Structure 1
Amino acid sequence: MKRRNLITLCWISLATSMIFFFGFTDEKTLNNFLLTVVVCFMYSFVLAMGNSYINDFLNKRFPWSEATTRRAIISIVSILIANTIMVYFCNYMNFVVFQKAATTEEYFSGKFSFINWFTINIALLISAFLHAKGFMEELKKTSRKEVVEQKLIAKSANAQFESLKNQLDPHFLFNSLNVLSSLIDENPNQAQKFTVSMSKIYRYVLEQKDKELVTVEDEIEFARTYCELLKTRFEDSVDFIFDVRKEDYRRFVVPLSLQLLLENCIKHNFATSSRPLIIKIFSENDTLCIENNLQVREQIKESSGIGLANIVQRYSLLTKRNVFIEKSEDYFKVKLPVLVSKPNEISIKTDTSDKAYERAQKRVKELKSFYSNLTSYCIVIPSLVIINLITSPNHLWFYYPMLGWGIGVAAHGVSAFGLGKRWEDKKIREILEKQNK
C-alpha cells in the first residue's frame, strides 16, 4: 500500500474512533478512548490492507485486461473467503480479547452472528471499492494503449498508402517521356499529337493520384484516352476492346490501376501488324478484368515491379478482397475487385482510435453502473436490517429485499463481466479469427 493511502487510512481510522467514542461510548475515559482508537485502527488496517494486498496480488497474477471473466470469478470467491476470515478475526479480538464481552465458546456459538454478518457486508463494500478502483485504473491504461496502437496503425497505413501513390507520378512521367523520345525520331507529327494527349492524361494523373478510389466510369474514360495515346505510337500493332457493364460504372476501383496494367501489357509483350497485341477490358462477376494475348518479349533489363505490385498493395490497404492474376499459355489476365462503396479513410480494415475510445467508454459505464449497484446494496441492506431489528424484531422482512435485490446484483454482475451475451460474442470472434488465419 502506498504511503499516501496509509496516511489517508490513519485519518479515517482516527475520525471513526472519534465518532464511536463521542457518539456511542457511555464512559468517556482515557482507557475507553484508547481502546476505541486501537479497535478502529485494527478494523481499518486489517480489512483495508488485507483487501488491498489481495487486489494487488490478483492484479499481478490475473490482470483484468487479459482474463476479465476469470479474474471476476476469482475476485468474488477470494474476497468472500478472505473478508469472512478477517471479520471473524477482528470481531474476536474486539469482543473476546479487548472488551472481554464474551468467551471463545460464546463467540463461536453464534451469539455474534448478526454482528459478524453486518461487518462482513461493510468489509465487502470496502473490497468492492478497491477492486473497482483497480479495474478502472487498468481499464484506463488498456484503453489508452489501444487508442495509441490504433492511431499508429492508421498513421502507418496512411504513410504506406501515400508512399505507394507517390510512386505513380514519376513512374508515369518517366515511361511517357521514353515513348515521346522514341516518337520524335520515328514520327515528329505523331510526337506532337502524343504531347497534347499526354498533357491531358497527366492532368488526370495529378487530379486522381491523391484519391483512394475513383469510379469505374472515370477510370474507363481515362483508359480510353490512354489507349488512344498508345495507338498513336503502335497504330495497328495494338487493339483495345472495352466491354464493361453499365451498372459497374458507379462502383469504385483504385485510381490509375488500368493505366498501370495497360502499360504492363505493352511493356512485357511484343506487338506487330501481323501479330497484334489484343487487350480486353471487361466486367466479370464483381471484378474488372484486363486480359491480353501472350506474346512475351525478352526483357533487356529487369522490371522495376512497380505496376502490379503497387496495385496489389493499395488494394490490400483498402479491402480484404484480393487482386487475382491468371496466366496460361495463351493469355494473361488480372482481375481487379470492384468495390460497391467508397471508404472514408484508409484505416477501414482496422478499428480507428475514436471507435476504440467509444468501446472503452461504454465498457467503463457498464462497470461503473454495476459497482454503483453493488455499493448501494452493501449500504442499504445493512441499514434495512438494523431498521427491521429495531422496529419489529419478531417479523424479519429484510430477507425479501436482500434476496430480490441480491439476485438483481448477481444478474448485473453476470452481464457486466461478460458471462452472458458478451461471452457468446467473444467466442464467435475467436472462432472467426482462427478460421481467417
Structure 2
Amino acid sequence: MKRKDFIILLWISLATAFFFFFFFNQEMTLENFAITFLISAMYSFIIGVGNGVINEFLNKKFPWSEETKKRAILSIISIVIANFVLVYLCNYINFVIIQKVATTERFFGGDYNFRNWFMINIALLISAFLHAKSFMSELSKTSKKEVVEQKLIAKSANAQFESLKNQLDPHFLFNSLNVLSSLIDENPSQAQKFTASMSKIYRYVLEQKDKELVTIEDEIEFAKTYCGLLKTRFEDSVNFIFDVKEDYLRKFVVPLSLQLLLENCIKHNLATSSKPLLIRIFTEGDTLCIENNLQIREQIKESAGIGLSNIVQRYSLLTKKNVFIEKSEDYFKVKLPILSEKPNPASIDTKSQDKAYERAKKRVKEIKGFYGNLISYCTVIPFLIFVNLYTRNNYYWFWWPLLGWGVGVASHAFQVFGIGISWQEKKIQEIMDKQKK
C-alpha cells in the first residue's frame, strides 16, 4: 500500500475515535481518548491494510481488464473470508486482551456474535468500496490506454500509407523517363508523342496519388492510355486485352495499381514481334486480374521491388482482403481485391469494434450494478442491525432484510458472474448451430 493510503487510515482512525469518545464514553479523559484512538487505529489498520494487501495482490495476479469474471468471483470470496477472520481477530484483541470484558470461552461461545456480525458488515462495506474503486480505476486506465493506442495506430497507419503513396510519384517518373530515353534514340517522332501523352498521364498520377481508392473505371481508362504509350514503344511486341465487366466499374481499387503491374510485366518479361507479350486485364470473381504469358527476362540489376510490394502494403492498410499472386510455367497473374466501398485505413474493423464496445459497455454496466447493490447491502444492513440492537428490542427483526436482501445479492452475483446471460447466449448459439447442420 502507498503512503497516501496509510494517511487515510490514520484520519479514519482519528474520526472514529472522536465519534466513539464523544457519544459512547462516559468519562471524558485524555487516557480514555488515547485508548479509544488506539482501538480505532487497530481496527482501521488491520482491516484496511488486510483488504488493501488482498486487493493489490488480486490486481497483479488477476487484473480487472483481463480476467473480469475470475477477478469478481475471487474478490467476493476473498473479502468475505478475509473480513470474517480480520473482524474476529480485532474483536478478540479488543474485548479479550485490551478491555478484558470477556473470556476466550465467552467470546467464541456466542455472546459476541451480534457484535462480530455488525463489524463484519462494516468491514465488508469498506472492502466492497475498495474493490469497486479498484475496478473503476482499472476501467478508467484501460479506457485511456486504448484511446491512446488507437490514436497511435491511426497515426502510424496514416503515416505509413502516405509514405507508400509518395513512392508512386518518383517511381512513375523514373520509369517513364527511362522509356522516353529509349524512344529518343529509336524513334524521335514517337518520342515527341510519348512526351505529350506522358504529361497527360502524369497529371492523372498527381491527381490520384493522394487518394486512398479510385474507381475501376478511372483506373481502366488510365491503364488504356498508359498501354497506348507502351504500344508506342514496343509496337507489335506487346498486346493488351481488356475484359472488365461493367458491373464492377463503379467499385474501387488502390490508385495506380494497374500502372505498377503493367510496368512489372514489361520489366520482367521479353517482348518481341516474333514472341509478343500478351497482357490481359479482366475481372474474376471479386478480383481485378492482370495476367501475362511468362517470357522471363534475365535481370542484370536486381529489382527494387517497389511495384508489387507497394500494392500489397497499401491493400493491407485498407482491407483484410489479400492480394493473390499466381505463377505457373506459362503465366503470371496478380489478383487485386475489388472493394465495394471506401474503408478507413485506421479503422478496418470499425463495425466489429463497435459491437465489441457495446458488449463491453453492457458488461461493465452489469458489474457496476452488482457492486452498487453489494455496497448498498453492506451499508444499509449494518445500519438496520445497529438500530435494532440500539433500541434494545428483544425481537431481532433485522434478520428478515439481512437474509432476504442477501439472497437477492447472491442471485445478482450468480447472474452477473455465473450462469446468467452469457450462458443463455451460448445455448442459443448452440441451438442455432445445430439447426444449420
> Per-residue deviation at 1:398?
4.1
Q: Which moved more, 1:121-130 or 1:22-31?
A: 22-31
Contact 2:153–2:346 (CA<8 Å) still a contact in 1?
no
Cα separation, partners in 2 of 1:9 and 1:300, compared to 1, 3 Å: closer
> Per-residue deviation at 1:261?
0.8
- In the other structure, the counterpart of 2:37 is 37
> Per-residue deviation at 1:348?
2.0
- Aligned-partner residue type, residue 204 of structure 1: Y
- In the other structure, the counterpart of 1:296 is 296
Contact 1:88–1:116 (CA<8 Å) still a contact in 2?
yes
Contact 1:143–1:357 (CA<8 Å) still a contact in 2?
no
- Aligned-partner residue type, residue 221 of structure 2: E
- In the other structure, the counterpart of 1:204 is 204
TM-score, length basis structure 1: 0.86
Tell me how many residue pairs correspond in the alignment: 426
> Per-residue deviation at 1:358?
8.9
Distance across 2 between alignment mates of 1:14 and 1:392: 28
Contact 2:319–2:343 (CA<8 Å) still a contact in 1?
no
- In the other structure, the counterpart of 2:281 is 281
Deviations 1:340-390 (A, max 9, x none): 221123342589999999998877665544433321111112223344567
Deviations 1:38-93 (A, max 9, x none): 32222112211221222233334444444333333333222222211111122222
- In the other structure, the counterpart of 1:433 is none
Q: Which moved more, 1:119-128 or 1:412-421?
A: 412-421
Listed as ranges, the matches of 1:339-354 within 5 Å are 339-348=339-348
- Aligned-partner residue type, residue 228 of structure 1: G
- Aligned-partner residue type, residue 372 of structure 1: G
Q: Which moved more, 1:162-171 or 1:67-76?
A: 67-76
Distance across 1 between alignment mates of 2:211 and 2:409: 53
Distance across 2 between alignment mates of 1:33 and 1:319: 72
Q: Which moved more, 1:390-399 or 1:41-50?
A: 390-399
- In the other structure, the counterpart of 1:257 is 257
- In the other structure, the counterpart of 1:371 is 371
- In the other structure, the counterpart of 2:183 is 183
- Aligned-partner residue type, residue 164 of structure 1: L
- In the other structure, the counterpart of 1:160 is 160
- In the other structure, the counterpart of 2:332 is 332
Contact 2:183–2:191 (CA<8 Å) still a contact in 1?
yes
Contact 1:323–1:336 (CA<8 Å) still a contact in 2?
yes
Distance across 2 between alignment mates of 1:106 and 1:68: 42
- Aligned-partner residue type, residue 275 of structure 1: K
Distance across 2 between alignment mates of 1:10 and 1:230: 85
Cα separation, partners in 2 of 1:148 and 1:355, compared to 1, 3 Å: farther
Cα separation, partners in 2 of 1:236 and 1:207, compared to 1, 3 Å: same
Q: Secondary structure at the match of 1:334?
A: strand
1:239 has 2:239 as partner: yes
Contact 1:150–1:351 (CA<8 Å) still a contact in 2?
no
- Aligned-partner residue type, residue 2 of structure 2: K
Distance across 1 between alignment mates of 2:89 and 2:167: 75
> Per-residue deviation at 1:215?
1.5
Q: Secondary structure at the match of 2:348?
A: helix
TM-score, length basis structure 2: 0.86
- In the other structure, the counterpart of 1:93 is 93
Contact 1:236–1:276 (CA<8 Å) still a contact in 2?
yes
> Per-residue deviation at 1:30?
4.5
Contact 1:288–1:336 (CA<8 Å) still a contact in 2?
yes
Distance across 1 between alignment mates of 2:418 and 2:349: 26
> Per-residue deviation at 1:197?
1.4
Deviations 1:187-222 (A, max 9, x none): 222222211211111111111112221121221111
Q: Which moved more, 1:104-113 or 1:142-151?
A: 142-151
Structure with more contact order per residue of length (Cα contacts < 8 Å, sep ≥ 6): 1
- Aligned-partner residue type, residue 219 of structure 2: E
- Aligned-partner residue type, residue 166 of structure 1: N
- In the other structure, the counterpart of 1:169 is 169
- In the other structure, the counterpart of 1:316 is 316
Distance across 1 between alignment mates of 2:410 and 2:251: 51
Distance across 2 between alignment mates of 1:423 and 1:204: 57
Distance across 1 between alignment mates of 2:297 and 2:2: 76
Q: Aligned-pair RMSD on alpha carbons? A: 3.2
Contact 1:150–1:350 (CA<8 Å) still a contact in 2?
no
- In the other structure, the counterpart of 1:120 is 120
Distance across 2 between alignment mates of 1:335 and 1:200: 27
> Per-residue deviation at 1:120?
0.4
Identical-pair percentage: 73
- In the other structure, the counterpart of 2:50 is 50
Distance across 2 between alignment mates of 1:424 and 1:280: 54
Distance across 2 between alignment mates of 1:337 and 1:29: 87
Cα separation, partners in 2 of 1:64 and 1:57, compared to 1, 3 Å: same
Distance across 1 between alignment mates of 2:419 and 2:60: 22
Distance across 2 between alignment mates of 1:424 and 1:300: 66
Distance across 2 between alignment mates of 1:402 and 1:51: 23
- In the other structure, the counterpart of 1:222 is 222
